[in-house]
Structure formats: structure tokens, C-alpha cells
Amino acid sequence: MNEQTSLWQGDYQSADFAELCNALYERELRLLSESPMASTESIQGRLKSLPHYIKRTAYSMLQVETPLELDVQNASWSAKQGLKMPLSGQEQKTVNNWYLSMKLNHGLVVPIATDSTILLDSIERIDIEQQRFRTNAHGWFYLSQHEKNKTNLQLLKPNKKVMTSACSGHCWLNAHRANPVIPTLRELLLSCAINWRNFKQPIVI
């Protein structure tokens, strides 16, 4: 058994790993019980996939190099929240030029602002000809100045303040700080794919 395998098994047997899994299970089962489902099959499918994604997320949260503080009991990241949403330097032209200047990668984690918080998503399709990309959960974003995104969501350029806010679930209501929201299980997994040293280069997890 090599050293890497031993470390992997050690994390799976740790108290922190068990506590993370328990917190994630409790949260996901509560959300599942409150969410309207179309059929029994959809519930069964979700339950069947939960163990894999929960174990993968818990393991990744313990392994990733991040400036954030891990709250094991709540299975979340925590960091100091600013008075306002960190949108300085996030004008559309600046953001578009940033994405156009780089070689886009599938799986790259991108931040997206709503009226009250910043979400994490990832690129799943790239259309170079039309200068746009599609994210997994929030659809297409155009990078051309001649095209407007048909959504009230705002694509952001990743930086430390933006990604910290997104990972920690920072929330602002009516321009005032509000209680943080817990990112979804998928967003927590995406938070572990952020390369904090180079936001243009995704981490494969």
C-alpha cells in the first residue's frame, strides 16, 4: 500500500471526515424532504447518488488548500464578510475582457452574482465562434460587447474577495449584511476545485 493510499484511507477514517459527512447528510436529507419531487424514481435516484457525492465533498474539503476556515460541524466554509458585495472592478467590459484573454477550460469554476449573494458554477461548454460559454446550472454567458446576457445574473471575474464570499455563502439584503446562506452540495464540491494561486487554472478533483 503506497503512502497516498494510506493518507486517503486515513482521511476517510478521521473524526472530521465522519462529522462532515453527518452534517452534509442531515442537510441534504432535510432539503430533499422539503423539495417537491415529480416521482418516487427521482427521489430514489437522488438518494442513491448522495453517498458518493457526500463522501467526495467531505474528502475534498479536508484535502484542499484554501485560505478559508473549515467549519466541520456545519460542513461549510467561514470567512470575514465585508460590508458590501465585492463588486469593485467587475464592470461587464472588464469581466468579458478577462475571460477573453485566457484559454477557457471545461470545469473552470466561475462566480456569478445575484441581487443578494455570489454563486459558484462551472463551465461545461465553450463556443469560441460566438464568444460565449455555458455553465452547468445558469446557462449561457456572452463575452462579446455586442451581445447581452438574457438573465439578471452577473458573471464576475474571480478574485480572492469574490471567491471567499461565494464559498462562505455571504449574503447582503437591501445593501446590508445578512446571515450567510449555506452553499449547495454541488457548490461546496466546486469550492474545492478553486486554484487560489491561479484563478485561471482549475484544480481537478
3-class secondary structure for 75-98?
A: CEEECCCCCCCCCCCCCHHHHHHH
Say if 73 falls within a structural domain: no
Judged by DSSP in three states, 49 sits in helix
- Residues 37 and 100 both lie in one domain: no
pLDDT digits (tens, 9 = 90+) for 61-110: 999 999 999 999 999 999 999 999 999 999 999 999 999 999 899 999 99
- Residues 98 and 156 both lie in one domain: yes
- Residues 86 and 184 both lie in one domain: yes
Give me the mean pLDDT over the 139-165 stretch: 89
Say if 199 falls within a structural domain: no
Judged by DSSP in three states, 22 sits in helix
Task: Say whether pLDDT at 130 is over 90.
Answer: yes
Determine how β-strand 154-155 pairs with β-strand 109-113: antiparallel
Say if 69 falls within a structural domain: no
Task: Say whether pLDDT at 120 is over 70.
Answer: yes
Task: Say whether pLDDT at 52 is over 60.
Answer: yes
pLDDT digits (tens, 9 = 90+) for 88-98: 999 999 999 99
Last residue of a domain, one of 63, 95, 112: 63
With bands split at pLDDT 50, 70 and 90, how would you rate the model's confidence at 9?
Answer: low
- Residues 38 and 117 both lie in one domain: no
Say if 201 falls within a structural domain: no
Domain total for the chain?
Answer: 2
- Residues 56 and 85 both lie in one domain: no
- Residues 56 and 83 both lie in one domain: no
Task: Say whether pLDDT at 3 is over 80.
Answer: no
- Residues 49 and 95 both lie in one domain: no
Residue 144 confidence (pLDDT): 87
Percentage of the residues of the chain whose pLDDT score is greater than 90: 75
- Residues 32 and 132 both lie in one domain: no
Residue 103 confidence (pLDDT): 87
In contact, 155 and 75? CB cutoff 8 Å: no
- Residues 104 and 182 both lie in one domain: yes
- Residues 164 and 101 both lie in one domain: yes
Say if 202 falls within a structural domain: no
Say if 30 falls within a structural domain: yes
Cα Rg of the chain (Å, integer) = 18
- Residues 16 and 101 both lie in one domain: no
Give the CA distances from residue 156 to residues 68, 113, 178, in Å, rounded to whole numbers and listed in that order. 20, 7, 21
Residue 32 confidence (pLDDT): 86
Say if 12 falls within a structural domain: yes
Q: Give the domain range for residue 184.
A: 78-191
Q: Is 0.85 topped by the overall pTM?
A: yes
With bands split at pLDDT 50, 70 and 90, how would you rate the model's confidence at 43?
Answer: confident
With bands split at pLDDT 50, 70 and 90, how would you rate the model's confidence at 119?
Answer: very high
With bands split at pLDDT 50, 70 and 90, how would you rate the model's confidence at 1?
Answer: very low
- Residues 18 and 94 both lie in one domain: no
Last residue of a domain, one of 25, 40, 63: 63
Residue 2 confidence (pLDDT): 46
Q: How far apart are CA 194 and CA 200, in angstroms?
A: 9
Residue 38 confidence (pLDDT): 63
